[in-house]
Amino acid sequence: MQAICIRFFAKEGNKHAHRPLHEWLFEQARELGIPGGTAYRAAAGYGRHGMQQDSFFELAGKLPESIEFVADESQIAALLARISAAGLKLVYVTHAVHIGVTGTD
């Protein structure tokens, strides 16, 4: 099955509507019928706000985070529309993917 993967880039600890950003995005995705999503906490990253790196002394909430969903094109478009309507400005990338399950014909 062909689908679209979208990955949002944020900072760990970002909030929207008094909730962690990834939780808010997961809720929106569920409401749109997107079957699942994943949030990844990075060990290190750099961008317009400089270098961020995990270390023994670093407090939580400052590292890069990415939130990813795979769904059909119309669901991804609907998710982007909701994010825009909420006034969020998130950096994202999309790419076409093929979904399959191993061990099936």
**Number of separate domains in the chain:** 1
* 73 occurs within a structural domain: yes
Higher-scoring residue by pLDDT: 11, 66? 66
Is the residue at 105 inside a domain? Answer: no
Q: Is 93 inside a domain boundary?
A: yes
pLDDT (mean) for 80-93: 97
Residue 56 included in any domain: yes
> Do 67 and 76 meet the contact criterion of CB atoms below 8 Å apart?
no
Domain of 90, CATH number, reads: 3.30.70.120
Is 53 among the domain residues?
Answer: yes
- The arithmetic mean of pLDDT across residues 77-102, rounded, is 97
74: domain range?
2-98
Confidence (pLDDT) at 57: 52
CB count within 10 Å of CB 44 equals 11
Which pLDDT score is estimated for 12? 85
User: Which two three-digit tokens encode residue 103?
Assistant: 């061990």
Position 4 pLDDT exceeds 60: yes
Q: What is the pLDDT of residue 104?
A: 79
* Structural domain contains residue 61: yes
Residue 78 lies in a domain: yes
Phi-psi region for residue 76, left (φ > 0), alpha (ψ -120 to 50) or beta? alpha
pTM value is 0.83
- Evaluate whether residue 104 is within a structural domain: no
Given a cut of 90, is residue 99 above it in pLDDT?
Answer: yes
pLDDT, tens digit, 9 for 90 and up, residues 26-84: 999 999 999 999 999 876 666 665 655 555 555 555 788 999 999 999 999 999 999 99
